[in-house]
Amino acid sequence: MKLNGHDNITIVTQSPDLSPEAIDVVVTLPTFKRPDHLLKTLASLKAQVTSRSFAIIVMENEAEKREGATVAAPLFEAGEYRGLVIIAHNRGNCNAYNAGWLTALAIFPNFKSLVVIDDDEVADPHWLENLCKTRELYGVDFVGGPQIPMFAKPEHQVWASHPVFSPHYDTTGRVPIIYSSGNLLVGRNVLEAMPFPFLDLTFNFMGGGDSDFISRSVVKGFTIAWCAEAAVYETVPARRVEADWIRARALRNGVISSLIEKRKRSNEPFGKLKTILKSLALLAVSPVRAVIKTAQTGSLSIGVYQIYIGLGRVLAEFGYSNEQYRQPEKN
């Protein structure tokens, strides 16, 4: 069944006991070619310690084989999980998120918070409750939490402090910005105020659509907190500690940083020029920053990361974009 008015979204199934009006929190879970880990993620949601009424939307983004939907649908039909399984037919990270968030608004009329977890993550049992409590405590519109890397090979755990993997904050409280939707709470009020598509398709295969969405929301006055106690544990395959993957991710992060800043400054006098000058300045000082970071951490990779960020920002001015999600088998 197609979602009303949206041919690119198919509802595969929903749980038999679903009462949409009673749902207070919607958990959206995008999946792409990870059926085995999807089951682990779902199991961690089933183990949540909370009295809040929540439903799950699984967004299958592989519209041909549908491996995730195939393993998840019978569990929802049997009532093991409450919610829906949908197909987001248009490929790409942003399309999957947009489909899930739009479905949440269409199906659940009274939810207050929408929460995001990815299909390579496992939630702490108190994850959902801590995200919601933090929103209530600080009266904010977004809450982010740490994605703790769990490396496939134990010897790779030394990479946990690398900026590609380490959380941006250490303590709970209000923060100016967060950068990822891999562990995120979004208020319904944000979704109702922001234009659709929520995540800009410019970032569909690059990543960063979440950072851009949050940045645009902050410009409109929405506020953010961080919850250090709302952890998810992200499975990191061995591929992601190889030098070429780290380099590609760092360059990509630089590109995303430049694109987002350019948008923020779009209405400023000489905004584009200011962004270019900042990018050039960051690249110019990056060798010094690299030496300092290498000395502080003893890691050449952490040091060189500073140079790649600056280089990525400058390359963005020439139209460079590293679409790491275009070839998921290499990601």
- Residues 105 and 55 grouped into a single domain: yes
Q: How many domains does the chain have?
A: 2
- Residues 156 and 31 grouped into a single domain: yes
- Residues 216 and 248 grouped into a single domain: no
- Residues 8 and 43 grouped into a single domain: yes
Residue 271, pLDDT above cutoff 90: no
pLDDT band of 81, cuts 50, 70, 90? very high
- Residues 124 and 164 grouped into a single domain: yes
Domain extent at residue 160 = 2-239
| β-sheet with 54-60: strand ranges across | 2-3, 6-14, 83-88, 54-60, 25-31, 113-117, 183-187, 142-144, 224-226, 173-175
- Residue 267's CB: how many other CB atoms inside 10 A? 8
- Residues 191 and 307 grouped into a single domain: no
- Residue 64's CB: how many other CB atoms inside 10 A? 6
- Residues 155 and 17 grouped into a single domain: yes
Cα-based angle 161, 30, 100 (whole degrees, multiple of 5): 130
Residue 331, pLDDT above cutoff 70: no
**pLDDT of 25:** 98
Mean pLDDT (the chain) is 91
**Which tokens sit at 309?**
């960020």
**pLDDT of 282:** 83
**Which whole number is the average pLDDT over 198-216?**
90
- Residue 274's CB: how many other CB atoms inside 10 A? 14
Residue 307, pLDDT above cutoff 70: yes
Q: Among 222, 239, 256, which residue terminates a domain?
A: 239
- The set of residues, in sequence order, having a beta carbon less than 8 Å from that of 211 and lying 6+ positions away, is 179, 180, 256, 260
**Rounded to two decimals, what is the model's pTM?**
0.91
Cα distance between residue 228 and residue 230, in whole Å: 6
**pLDDT of 323:** 66
pLDDT digit string (tens) for 97-127? 999 999 999 999 999 999 999 999 999 999 9
Residue 325, pLDDT above cutoff 70: no
Q: Among 239, 260, 293, which residue terminates a domain?
A: 239
pLDDT band of 179, cuts 50, 70, 90? confident
**pLDDT of 328:** 62
